[in-house]
Amino acid sequence: MRYFTSVDDIGPLDVAVKEALEVKRDRFAYSHLGRNKTLMMIFFNSSLRTRLSTQKAAMNLGMNVIVLDVNNGAWKLETERGVIMDGDCPEHLLEAVPVMGCYCDIIGVRSFARFESKYDDYNEKILNQFIKYSGRPVFSMEAATGHPLQAFADLITIEEHKTKKRPKVVLTWAPHPRALPQAVPNSFAQWMNAAGYDFVITHPEGYELAPEFVGDAKVIYDQDEALRGADFVYAKNWSAFADPNYGQILSKDRAWTITSEKMALTDNAYFMHCLPVRRNMIVSDDVIESDRSLVIPEAANREISAEVVLKRLLESL
Ligand code: CP
């Protein structure tokens, strides 16, 4: 595996999950792989879980790690080619990326959707420049349209907790005060479809995700109907994808917040969220604190999904 940006890069999911559970049983079994190898983690946006879990995964594999917060201590980067650089960006991404590639063996990139151009966001303009110009294996630590390390961790978590071969998994939109990207729901949908679960997406009208991510999922606009009989409820906010409202907030309706009354409609479902989460906007205190909440096991499995991905990238060197 040379790149990891979507479910298509990881191969058969049953093999990937089996590998993840093996790594989880002995996370230092491959510590020889990363000896004298350097991971560079580039952050254009803030992070708690991705930064810590990916660094821990790299350490498990024996790697050295360099972390760069582009917005804190680095030269501000111009990303548009052809721009006369007489503004506040002293360096261009087209020089900075190959320079970063000189100092490492593998590069991880976090770069959210900017909501300035749907075309640029959905063509993964920043991530693809690292793939094109760094000369190194590159993996997404959440990009404009996807968060595959999160979705892989979510899949591992569901596989560890499911009690039936094909559980009902519901992805539900929930309200949030700020406009968030579609990356997490896109990837979650992509990975749940690939896993072959009974997968349902529910959201208010206007919040339809891109068809290539929705795939064969059932879309139900009535949240209560969607939640009935669910085994797993995955709550997440996202902004509108469809034109002309791309990146906009269309609703803050707290009737969509996941509460114990909503969870009572399910088949004693587990509650999931990628974190960070806005309590009592996305989910009520009692649901996230309940013994059916998987938010901490999901976060713990971020170390495992990152370790499998880094292991495979190291094996490709
Ligand atoms: N879930 C997730 O990616 O968390 P961070 O934004 O803290 O990395």
The tens digit of pLDDT for each residue in 242-291 reads: 999 999 999 999 999 999 999 999 999 999 999 999 999 999 999 999 99
Pairing of strands 38-43, 106-110: parallel
Q: Which of 274, 277, 278 to mutate to test the pocket of ligand 1 (most atoms within 8 A of CB)?
A: 274
Instruction: Check whether residue 161 and residue 269 sit in a common domain.
Output: yes
Quote the CA–CA distance of 233 and 283 in Å, as a whole number.
11
How far is the centre of ligand 1, averaged over its atoms, from the C-alpha of 154 (Å)?
13
Give CA–CA dist 144/179, Å, rounded.
13
Query: Same domain, yes or no, for 117 and 169?
Result: no
Q: Residue 204 is part of a domain; what is its CATH number?
A: 3.40.50.1370
153 shares a domain with 130: no
Amino acid at 250: L
The structural domain count of the chain equals: 2
- Looking at residue 49, its pLDDT comes to 98
* Co-location of 306 and 264 in the same domain: no
Same domain membership, residue 140 and residue 229: no
Whether residues 272 and 172 share a domain: the answer is yes
Check whether residue 89 and residue 202 sit in a common domain. Answer: no
Å from CA of 179 to ligand 1 middle? 16
- Which residues does a 6 A CB cutoff place in the pocket of ligand 1? 47-50, 142, 150, 274-276
Distance between Cα 50 and ligand 1 center (Å): 5
CA-nearest residue for atom 7, ligand 1, is: 48
What sign does the dihedral 28-30-32-36 (CA atoms) show?
negative
Residue 112 sits in the same domain as residue 179 = no
For residue range 192-218, list pLDDT tens digits in order: 999 999 999 999 999 999 999 999 999
What spacing in Å lies between the alpha carbon of 48 and ligand 1's midpoint?
6
Give the number of the atom of ligand 1 that is nearest the alpha carbon of residue 147.
Answer: 3
Arithmetic mean of pLDDT, 155-178: 98
Average pLDDT of the chain, as a whole number? 97
Residue 49 Cα to ligand 1 middle (Å): 5
Per-residue confidence (pLDDT) for residue 152, from 0 to 100: 98
Rama region for 199: left / alpha / beta (φ>0; ψ in -120 to 50; rest): beta
Same-domain status, 294 and 164: yes
Q: How confident is the model at residue 40 (pLDDT cuts 50, 70, 90)?
A: very high
Q: How far is the centre of ligand 1, averaged over its atoms, from the C-alpha of 303 (Å)?
A: 12
Asked, as a colleague might, if the bond just before 181 is cis with ω within 30 of 0, I would say: no
Q: Return the ligand 1 atom nearest residue 149 CA.
A: 3
Q: Is the pLDDT of residue 73 over 90?
A: no
Structural domain for 307, as ranges? 3-146+302-315
- From the CA of 126, how far away is ligand 1's center (Å)? 18
pLDDT grade for 314, boundaries at 50, 70 and 90: very high
Residue nearest to atom 3 of ligand 1 (CA): 50
Q: How far is the CA of 140 from the centre of ligand 1 (A)?
A: 12
- Give the residue, out of 43, 49, 277, with the most ligand 1 atoms within 8 A of its beta carbon, to mutate for a pocket test: 49
Mean pLDDT computed over 55-69 = 98
The tens digit of pLDDT for each residue in 114-163 reads: 999 999 999 999 999 999 999 999 999 999 999 999 999 999 999 999 99
Per-residue DSSP letters for 66-100? EEEETTTTSPPEE--TT----SS--EEHHHHHHHH
Q: What percent of the chain has pLDDT over 90?
A: 98
Looking at the fold, whether 287 and 310 belong to one and the same domain comes out as no
Looking at the structure, tell me whether residues 167 and 267 fall in a common domain.
yes
Question: Is 269 found in the same domain as 171?
Answer: yes
Write out pLDDT tens, residues 293-307. 999 999 999 999 999
The residue-averaged pLDDT of 224-240 equals 98
Mutate to test the pocket of ligand 1, among 302, 305, 309 (most ligand atoms within 8 A of CB): 302
- Cis preceding linkage at 185, omega within 30: no
